[in-house]
Amino acid sequence: MVKLAYGYEIDELSLLLLRMVFALPFYLGVWAYKRSEWKERPLGSKKWVGVIALGLVGYYFASFFDFKGLTYISASLERLILFTYPTIVLILSAIFLKKKVTGFQLTAILITYAGLAIIFLDNQGIASGATEDVITGSAFILLSAFTYAIYLTGTNFMIGGIGTLRLTTIVMSMSCLSVIIHFSIVQTPDIFGYPYQVYVIGLLMAVFATVLPSFMINEAIKRIGAPDVSILGSLGPVSTITLSMIFLGERLTLIQFFGALVIISGVAIISLNKR
């Protein structure tokens, strides 16, 4: 959807603003509905600091770097690079949360990265554009992967004492406000001057790529932990390449299709282990 919106010559910050402005009412609605219940369990100052930090790191910095990177590289390559975050999550969880990296997790990571390597090495139709653009865009996506890994690890640490619904609502509201403040400081274009398709895409992004995933991901972290959630995210490159092939005209070769199957097999290991 980001790449589709860029076809209407909107810059990354304006598009991110539309995404967050359309998403914010949903989070404020949840806050209003649960406000009396949450007042009975107030957050301490340390938890507020942690929640605000998660909001800045997760869906503000990570989203901004991601949108910026997508102005340089294809959606398929973006998703492949972003998939480095499961390894970062495992490392951060081992260091800061003292979580042991299991044999199943290591096996799943190795298999999924093998599939990723197959797809990446056969980059025909993926890494289009000048070399400088590919390097610049890849750097931004790596920053997005790192900040998103920090967000997942921090959520894993804080969600037990705050609750999925409450943590998600506050974190995402902070992210939305951060984007609005950022835009108001550095941007001057007319946000109402784009074709109607841009606003439709922005609304769809807000609902299906922001609000619903934010609650579902945090609930998944609560149930199975950030490391396994990040590994299951390896389906992202496969689904993104498929969608970009259908809607953006990007190609998926037979070798890339084989790599996608390898990635799915790595995800299956985690699923079978949990069962």
- Where does residue 89 rank: exposed (0-12), middle (13-18), buried (19+ CB within 10 A)? buried
* pLDDT number for residue 272: 66
pTM here is 0.78
* pLDDT number for residue 122: 67
Q: What is the 3-state secondary structure (H, E, C) of 101-156?
A: CCHHHHHHHHHHHHHHHHHHHCCCCCCCCCHHHHHHHHHHHHHHHHHHHHHHHHHH
Residue 60: give the domain boundaries.
Answer: 2-274
Residues of the chain with pLDDT under 70: 119-120, 122-131, 187-189, 234, 252, 267, 270-275
Beta-carbon contacts of residue 70 (< 8 Å; ≥ 6 apart): 2, 3, 6, 12, 78, 137
* pLDDT number for residue 100: 81
**Tens-place pLDDT, residues 166-197:** 999 999 999 999 999 999 998 666 788 899 99
* pLDDT number for residue 44: 86
* pLDDT number for residue 123: 57
- Reading the block at residue 80, the tokens are 């492949």
The one-letter amino acid at 103: G
The whole-angstrom distance between residue 245's C-alpha and the CA centroid of its chain comes to 20
* pLDDT number for residue 77: 75
| CB neighbours of residue 229 within 10 Å | 23
User: How many domains does the chain divide into?
Assistant: 1
Beta-carbon contacts of residue 167 (< 8 Å; ≥ 6 apart): 51, 54, 155, 158, 159, 218
* pLDDT number for residue 134: 78
* pLDDT number for residue 131: 66
